[in-house]
Structure 1
Amino acid sequence: MEKENMTTLHTYVDQAIDRAISEKRIVGTVVQVALGGELVYSRAAGFADREQKRTMAENALFRLASVTKPIVSTAALALISQGKLSLHDPVTRWLPAFRPKLANGQDAQITIHQLMTHTAGLTYRFFQEEQGTYERSGVSDGMDLSELSLEENLQRLASVPLIYEPGDMWRYSIATDVLGAVIEKVTGMSLRESVQLLVTHPLHMTDTDFVAVDSDRLTAAYADGSEEPRLLHNQLEQVPFIEGTAGFRLAPNRANQPSAYASGGAGMVGSTGDFLTLLETLRQGGQPILTEAVATEMATNQIGELDMPYWPGRGFGLGFTLLKDPVAAGTPESPGTWRMGGTYGHSWFVDPKEELSVAAFTNTALEGMSGQYTTDICDAIYASIREGKEAARI
């Protein structure tokens, strides 16, 4: 990217960040952009902890929530690359006791592929109504501070009827927690040790773990408020989600509790830079942790034309959404772009066509996951790219 176009990118992204902070939509953020394999933008802004007046730092640690999913999915794909696991394996090959039934009482078979594509018949407690089946059975979403072990949580999950026949629908779900248990069985190690061995250590992601590696760098957690974001205290906090659903139950102090079960869907803590390293590794073919064929499969739509609620114009690969129709999605991203986010206030996307990877982490739920901020950051980056291309043609 030419120097003047770099200046444009910095200006536009800075404006998007400054606007969100001045309008008190977010408390703090770290945004990093890689283009053509180079880090072209990195900025920390706002407060890591507003009450303590601790400014945000580029190496700040965030509760990753669903940003955990692509990390754990990559660990499973590393095992597939090594021939130790297959997408076609029934889950019961590895977890013989995990046998949730259909609502009519019939048996159902779930595959590893269905876990990784969220077509396994599962859901999340926060998507259900108050006192839904998961809540009544005491299933943890992986973001509260439950005393449950992973095995106990899966026992509870298996006691609840599936919400659809596996393979028939796409519904975002707790499936990656089940995948985490599969990974443990395949490796004979804890999920934490498995992810270290398969992903974080080979990529030198030293900030990323199932607990904060340095509690002094951990950001405070906030949620959308009427005049400014409200501080989430360490005890269980309710954060409304979609009208008619139970919403999120967040225990920010989980990030400092080694005793909390390792949630493959929501339990990790890490830095923006570490996650950008993973995105760039996957974008460039997956080496040294995945074969190129497996990395390509990860970024290929796996669910055909199944409808994805809340994600118009997108399909799903093996761990994240994939853009099929930019018009339907209302985005400037190129077809084939990968994107996901995290409840505590994160968004990220990879546009392989533009050789672009972006990680925009905040400490503010849900603005940083699905609010105007995510749109503003995306629009700013593509506006600078578009202007650069137009300038090059003149």
Structure 2
Amino acid sequence: MGDKNMKFNPEFVEEVIHRTLAEKRIVGSVVQIAWKGEVVYNSADGLADREQNRHMQEDALFRYASVTKPIVSTAAMVLISQGKLKLDDPVMKWLPEFRPKQPNGEVASMTVHHLMTHTAGLTYRFFQENGGTYEVAGVSDGMDIAGITLEENLQRIASAPLLYEPGKMWRYSIATDVLGAVIEKVTGLTLREAVELLVTHPLGMKNTDFVAVDSKRMTAAYADSSNSSGQPRRLRDEDHVPFIEGAAGFQLALERYHEPSAYLSGGAGMIGSAGDYLSLLETLRQGGGSLLPKALVAQMTINQIGHLEMPYWPGRGFGLGFTVLKDPAEAGTPESAGTWRMGGTYGHSWFVDPTEELSVVAFTNTALEGMSGRFTTELCEAVYEGIERKR
């Protein structure tokens, strides 16, 4: 695997994957690792569909959920590089009808930078209590089939009061869906067309789209075990997955990937493969190639939110589309300072450590273990054991 002069030792990663599968914490996974510009690990393990006994394949297609966000954020950065969009553009310049109000009743002054850094005052329905303002307004988080257009969802989002004045706090949110609407206005294209033109086609990401390019390669979806069976439960076509205590949790529609009535969600709507995603991450890690100038990649990948606190992400800040590690000790991770990382509801995690020239994609079909469970921390530790950093 990779250049024989490189010292990646796969046994630590393999042990974590095999143990996690044996303990029935995940059903299947595709893990790909690039180090110093070479793919040094590429393995599909477990089952893509347990009930059909269909083995996981390296080109399996996953519901990306929030793994979508960096793709759409990259599309926005390409528009910025072309001079068609600016980070300090008021959102109302592009979406004049989108006028959410602050808690004091004043119309908010919201910018593209606020959207990309999740400091816009917005939230997600799944973070709120049952009966919260987004539920009352009928807001879709972009993972269900609400039968509404993006424009209608924006109207619903804008009808709910903001949590805070833009720029004053950080809260993970539906902001990337709003960014998707901005991209549509800037380009005059649908978000699907714009992302293909700006990102996926230039990078040869042929497996990545807002609909499944091959439904036969779609993975089944599972959720963490909540009963005595001790194995993940298969998600129903429409299902609910609990999140943090006291929050409404995730409303999921598995068939969204081929449902023409589902709006194009910039924060959660894409489907794709691990290999495609590794291509995107490596392009950004290596400075953007022909896609983006290095200076804009540098802006994406540094902390943009100062000292604002990030609940559930100790030691990390936020760039333009993903978290950026500030303090490895506080975060309790072997990653280098400056590492970028995110995940996705259906069971995905990824990170890029620029110092070590390292990009890691770990896609599973099991929520939420594959996104934020023990598997993610154990795999991360195993990767650093494998690159023999203390050599």
Q: State the TM-score bracket (shorter-chain normalisation).
A: over 0.9
Give the match's secondary structure for 2:195: helix
Q: Do the aligned residues in 1 keep the contact of 2:145 with 2:261 (CA within 8 Å)?
A: no
Q: 2:289, 2:148 → 1: CA distance? A: 36
Matched letter for residue 266 of structure 2: G
Q: Do the aligned residues in 2 keep the contact of 1:314 with 1:323 (CA within 8 Å)?
A: yes
Structure 2 counterpart of 1:384: 386
Q: 1:62, 1:33 → 2: CA distance? A: 17
Structure 1 counterpart of 2:234: 231
Q: 1:3, 1:133 → 2: CA distance? A: 56
Kindly report which structure 2 residues correspond to 1:343-362, keeping only aligned pairs within 5 A, or say none. Answer: 343-362=345-364
TM-score of the two chains, using structure 1 as the length reference? 0.97
Give the match's secondary structure for 1:349: strand
Structure 1 counterpart of 2:267: 265
Q: Do the aligned residues in 2 keep the contact of 1:78 with 1:198 (CA within 8 Å)?
A: yes
Matched letter for residue 78 of structure 2: A
Q: Do the aligned residues in 2 keep the contact of 1:5 with 1:388 (CA within 8 Å)?
A: no
TM superposition shift of 1:6: 4.2
Q: 1:116, 1:2 → 2: CA distance? A: 37
Matched letter for residue 96 of structure 1: P
Give the match's secondary structure for 1:44: strand
Q: 1:161, 1:150 → 2: CA distance? A: 19
Structure 2 counterpart of 1:175: 175
Matched letter for residue 229 of structure 1: P
Q: Do the aligned residues in 1 keep the contact of 2:70 with 2:322 (CA within 8 Å)?
A: yes
TM superposition shift of 1:258: 2.8
Structure 2 counterpart of 1:27: 27
Matched letter for residue 85 of structure 1: L
TM superposition shift of 1:292: 1.2
Q: 1:369, 1:130 → 2: CA distance? A: 23
Give unpaired runs (5+ residues) of structure 1.
none
Q: Do the aligned residues in 1 keep the contact of 2:8 with 2:40 (CA within 8 Å)?
A: no
Q: Do the aligned residues in 2 keep the contact of 1:316 with 1:322 (CA within 8 Å)?
A: yes
1:256 to 258, 261, 281: 258
2:248 to 246, 249, 253: 246
Matched letter for residue 99 of structure 2: R
TM superposition shift of 1:287: 2.0
Matched letter for residue 353 of structure 1: T
Give the match's secondary structure for 1:353: coil
Q: 1:246, 1:77 → 2: CA distance? A: 32
TM superposition shift of 1:190: 0.1
Q: 1:341, 1:6 → 2: CA distance? A: 27
Q: Do the aligned residues in 1 keep the contact of 2:65 with 2:143 (CA within 8 Å)?
A: yes
TM superposition shift of 1:2: 7.7
In structure 2, the CA distance between the partners of 1:388 and 1:352, relative to structure 1 (3 Å rule), is: closer
Structure 2 counterpart of 1:219: 219
Higher helix share: 1
Structure 2 counterpart of 1:162: 162
Q: Do the aligned residues in 2 keep the contact of 1:33 with 1:358 (CA within 8 Å)?
A: yes
Q: Do the aligned residues in 1 keep the contact of 2:148 with 2:261 (CA within 8 Å)?
A: no
Structure 1 counterpart of 2:376: 374
Q: 1:61, 1:265 → 2: CA distance? A: 18
TM superposition shift of 1:259: 2.5
Give the match's secondary structure for 1:166: coil
Deviation above 3 Å: which 4+ runs of structure 1? Answer: 1-7
**TM-superposition CA deviations, 1:95-120 (whole Å, max 9, x none):** 00000001221121100000000000
Q: 2:5, 2:300 → 1: CA distance? A: 35
TM superposition shift of 1:300: 1.1
**TM-superposition CA deviations, 1:9-33 (whole Å, max 9, x none):** x111110100010000000000000
The root-mean-square deviation of aligned C-alpha atoms, in Å, is 1.1
Q: 2:143, 2:82 → 1: CA distance? A: 31
1:335 to 337, 351, 360: 337
Give the match's secondary structure for 1:354: coil
Give unpaired runs (5+ residues) of structure 2.
none
Q: 2:139, 2:107 → 1: CA distance? A: 21
Give the match's secondary structure for 1:374: helix
Structure 1 counterpart of 2:95: 95
Q: Do the aligned residues in 2 keep the contact of 1:6 with 1:40 (CA within 8 Å)?
A: no
Q: 2:45, 2:150 → 1: CA distance? A: 36
Q: 1:20, 1:251 → 2: CA distance? A: 26
Q: Do the aligned residues in 2 keep the contact of 1:77 with 1:290 (CA within 8 Å)?
A: yes
Q: 1:76, 1:7 → 2: CA distance? A: 35
Matched letter for residue 344 of structure 1: Y
Q: 1:147, 1:50 → 2: CA distance? A: 30
TM-score of the two chains, using structure 2 as the length reference? 0.97
Q: 2:259, 2:378 → 1: CA distance? A: 34
Q: 1:370, 1:81 → 2: CA distance? A: 33
Matched letter for residue 273 of structure 2: S
Identity of aligned residues (%): 70
**TM-superposition CA deviations, 1:133-172 (whole Å, max 9, x none):** 0001100000001101000000000000000000000000
Structure 1 counterpart of 2:207: 207
Q: Do the aligned residues in 2 keep the contact of 1:5 with 1:384 (CA within 8 Å)?
A: no
In structure 2, the CA distance between the partners of 1:177 and 1:222, relative to structure 1 (3 Å rule), is: same
TM superposition shift of 1:3: 4.4
Matched letter for residue 51 of structure 1: E
Q: 2:43, 2:208 → 1: CA distance? A: 19
Q: 1:73, 1:346 → 2: CA distance? A: 18
Q: Do the aligned residues in 1 keep the contact of 2:171 with 2:310 (CA within 8 Å)?
A: yes
